[in-house]
Amino acid sequence: MTKTNEIEILRATADKLGSDSYLGPWLRQVLPELEAIIRSDNLPQITIADAVQQAEQAARIAGEQIIREAERNAEKIRRSTDGVVDTARSILDTIEGSIKRQEQAIADQRRVRALLESRIRA
């Protein structure tokens, strides 16, 4: 049997199965690939089940890479925000200290004023 005969049988089978069958639409879809394989003398080295398994494995690996990249990005963001939080804490501590000093100064001024007023009255 020749390559041309095999290709004709595949085409005829796809036509005979038609679009209302289970395999007809699929066979029509893969027919160009099958014809190319036959013409090139390369036998298919992979089954559909193998292809599905390889695709699942590739998807799993890609998913793991995406997760690792997302975790690295999250860590960078965490480190970046830690610096911002530390800076904000430092600024708040400075403001708090300034407020306490101003409150102390106001309290001291009130005591001096009260002392002066008591001496003026006496």
By CB atoms closer than 10 A (0-12, 13-18, 19+), residue 7 is middle
pLDDT computed for residue 120 by the predictor:
86
If asked whether residues 68 and 17 sit together in one domain, one would say no
Residue range of the domain that includes 114 = 47-122
Record the pTM.
0.44
Whether 41 and 51 map to the same domain: the answer is no
56 and 106 part of one domain? yes
Same domain, 41 and 53: no
pLDDT of residue 84: 87
In this structure, the answer to whether residues 54 and 29 fall within a common structural domain is no
pLDDT one digit per residue (tens) for the chain, 122 residues = 899 999 999 999 999 999 999 999 999 999 998 898 888 877 777 777 888 899 999 999 999 999 999 999 999 998 888 888 888 999 999 999 999 999 999 999 999 998 888 888 87
Task: Based on the fold, state whether residues 74 and 112 are members of the same structural domain.
Answer: yes
CA distance 48 to 117: 100
Residues 33, 76 within the same domain: no
Do 51 and 23 sit in the same domain of this protein?
Answer: no
Number of domains in the chain: 2
24-40 and 3-17 helices, crossing angle to 10°: 170
Residue-level pLDDT at 47: 78
